[in-house]
Amino acid sequence: MVNEKNKFTVINIDPDAHRFRKKDYEKLAGIGARLIEVKIEKNISKILQNVDVIIFTGTKITSTMIKHLKKCRFIIRCGTGMDNIDIKSATEKGIMVSNVVEFCTEEVSDHALMFILACCRRLKKFFILDSIKTVNNSGYIGSINNQTLGLVGFGKIARSLAKKARCLGMKVICYDPLVESDILKSFGVKKASLQDVLKNSDYISLHCPLTEKTWHLIGKKEMELMKNTAYLINTSRGGLIDEKSLIKALRNNQLAGAGLDVFEKEPLDKDNPLLYMDNVICTPHYAYYSEKSINVLKDIVIDEVVRVLNGKVPKNLCNHEVLKNIKQ
């Protein structure tokens, strides 16, 4: 039986990733919603039967989980990527799905730029040097001035990175079949095919979502097109790169190096060769993080939940076709 004070139940199934604040509980309570933060367990199906909203981050929302939902009207991800939810099953069930896309634009573009600079200056190699005397015999070190940055995807993060890179004297080209040349031109960016980006860039930075079509977008054939002096940067999704092919290409000196914040399997296995290469910089999927970005993320999530529970459509609805399946 539902308490009048708790007309709705909202569950956060990834509390270790993001725990909500006192003000979030209070805001939800103001509309008669109770927030529960609980990890996924074997008996989660019983809990799911009674929830109105699911908040998730890294947990995979499968069709099996969705089948257990009896009254859920909304699922929202604390983040951008939507590769860990079965959107089709949610749509068929009449459940609206949303994510948060505008909370870490500057943080992620900063991180990508950090990778570019760190790779250029070979930071990892020199960070472990015992003596400055060995620098002169440690191979080529360059400058990013007048170098070409190739972007794959031109969303908000890529646009932010393009602005920053151009301020540092880089030329920027981009492959994004969904963006018109005039828009790219307004950012001082030249439109190019994926093949041309791979062939002509000194740094290639990935900024596209992970889908069935983009899985292993950068594989063996694509790496063979790249300069052997080029660096591959990924702050988007690990599955965009064929990791085995990348490791092989790095070992064979087909590429100069890489800067990676995301991986095919996370957390990264301790024996993954990428961790031990002096031309590869790895960070633990935290490009999105800053105190400001996390607070903005939580604000947006709670606002969207309140919006839906008040009978409205979320601002960033990912499955618009679901509206046909929702009983008005």
Sign of the torsion angle spanned by Cα atoms 20, 30, 69, 213: negative
Are the beta carbons of 10 and 55 closer than 8 angstroms?
A: yes
- Catalytic pick among 266, 291, 307, 320: 266
Cis ω on the peptide bond leading into residue 267 (within 30° of 0)?
yes
From CA 172, how far away is CA 77, in angstroms rounded?
A: 32
- Catalytic pick among 107, 237, 243, 304: 237
Calculate helix-pair angle for 156-167, 105-120, nearest 10 degrees. 40
CB-count exposure of residue 22 (10 Å: 0-12, 13-18, 19+): exposed
- Catalytic pick among 285, 291, 304, 320: 285
Cα separation values, 173 from 159, 201, 310, Å: 11, 8, 44
291 part of the active site: no
CB atoms within 10 A of CB 62: 12
The backbone torsions φ and ψ at residue 162, rounded to the nearest 5 degrees and listed phi first, read -60, -45
285 part of the active site: yes
Bridge partner list, 75: 54, 97
> Could you tell me which of 51, 45, 41 has the C-alpha nearest to residue 6?
51
Residues serving a catalytic function are 237, 266, 285
